[in-house]
């Protein structure tokens, strides 16, 4: 079977795989879908860290911050492993999840510090809860870097927090935005590589209507509270709706170019190394 035929069947091409395997000719390599996914996620993380080292000091500091959270996550998982005896794949998955959790805690802590320091602590908490809940069920466009994610999320939160001081949203405008945002969420949510990987369309529809139901519940609460808090709710939902616009096509391009396991590593990057048939 030729390389072109393999690629048509969903294979990912790597140059000189034969030479690489000759070095391990006495070792059997067995990799199921879960192990392949975990393996390529690890490769992608290593590649991103190496790539960032060639950029500015600003991005080197970002890689350094991620290294600290990764090192802390590995220490925590190592302690947990003493009592649970995890398999290697389980340790990789738990460590990755722990790293994401610690990274999120670090960002949220910074937002809290800024919010309380400017006298907007409760507003900051409300914005984070609403925005985080909506992102969970509807997805949205992601920043390319961790620092970019921190800046984008922070901008949305503090735009909402400061908006009541400069914006006055009337009930009529609020009602029009409710209708417009319902259309955006119905048409574009869910928008995320995780949701694109779901094969069951019923699951996608359930998630879609969960997000629509959530924004309407939040909007309804906004009708019965004063204009100050209504404006914060208004700005958070509008900002989340904007992240959905254009994000759908962006995620589809990434998903198509990388194949079913595109979240693990870009297909173009894989071609430079070797071939693995994922079908």
Q: What backbone phi and psi angles, to 5 degrees, belong to 93?
A: -65, -45
In this prediction, residue 23 carries a pLDDT of 58
pLDDT at res. 147 = 83
In sequence order, which residues have a C-beta less than 8 Å from that of residue 273 and are 6 or more positions away?
Answer: 14, 15, 16, 17
Q: What is the pLDDT of residue 50?
A: 59
* pLDDT reported for residue 10: 62
Report the alpha-carbon angle 152-205-98, nearest 5: 45
Q: pLDDT digit of tens for each residue in the chain (279 aa)?
A: 666 666 666 666 555 556 555 555 554 555 566 666 677 677 766 666 655 554 444 445 455 556 677 888 888 888 898 888 888 888 888 888 888 888 889 899 999 999 999 999 999 999 999 999 999 888 888 887 888 888 999 999 999 999 999 888 888 889 999 999 999 999 988 887 667 666 667 888 888 899 999 999 999 999 899 999 999 999 999 999 998 886 655 555 554 544 444 444 444 444 444 433 433
Report H helices in the chain: 3-8, 17-22, 33-53, 57-84, 88-117, 121-138, 146-162, 171-188, 193-196, 201-223, 227-244, 247-258, 267-271
**pLDDT score for 72:** 86
pLDDT for position 220: 92
pLDDT at 185: 93
Q: Taking the CB of residue 99, how many other CB atoms lie within 10 A of it?
A: 21
pLDDT computed for residue 193 by the predictor: 67
Structure tokens at 170: 């009337």
Gap between the Cα atoms of 188 and 34, Å rounded: 29
Please report the pLDDT score of residue 70 as a whole number. Answer: 81
């Amino acid at each position: 079977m030729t390389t072109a035929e393999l690629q048509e069947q969903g294979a990912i091409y790597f140059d000189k795989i034969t030479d690489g395997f000759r070095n391990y000719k006495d070792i059997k390599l067995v990799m199921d879908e879960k192990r392949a996914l975990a393996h390529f996620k690890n490769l992608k993380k290593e590649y991103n860290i190496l790539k960032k080292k060639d950029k500015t000091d600003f991005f080197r500091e970002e890689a350094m911050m991620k290294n600290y959270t990764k090192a802390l996550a590995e220490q925590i998982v190592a302690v947990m492993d003493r009592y649970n005896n995890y398999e290697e794949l389980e340790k990789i998955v738990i460590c990755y999840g722990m790293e994401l959790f610690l990274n999120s805690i670090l960002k949220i802590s910074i937002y809290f510090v800024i919010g309380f320091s400017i006298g907007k602590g409760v507003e900051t908490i409300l914005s984070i809860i609403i925005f985080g809940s909506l992102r969970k069920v509807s997805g949205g466009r992601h920043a390319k870097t961790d620092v970019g994610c921190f800046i984008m999320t922070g901008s949305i939160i503090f735009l909402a927090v400061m908006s009541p001081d400069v914006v006055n949203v009337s009930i009529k405008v609020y009602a029009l935005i409710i209708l417009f945002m319902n259309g955006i969420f119905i048409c574009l949510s869910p928008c995320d590589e995780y949701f694109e990987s779901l094969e069951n369309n019923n699951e996608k529809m359930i998630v879609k209507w969960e997000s629509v139901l959530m924004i309407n519940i939040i909007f309804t609460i906004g009708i019965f509270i004063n204009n100050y808090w209504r404006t914060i709710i208004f700005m958070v939902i509008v900002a989340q709706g904007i992240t959905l616009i254009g994000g759908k096509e962006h995620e589809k391009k990434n998903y198509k170019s990388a194949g079913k396991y595109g979240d693990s590593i870009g297909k173009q990057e894989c071609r430079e190394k070797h071939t693995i048939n994922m079908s």
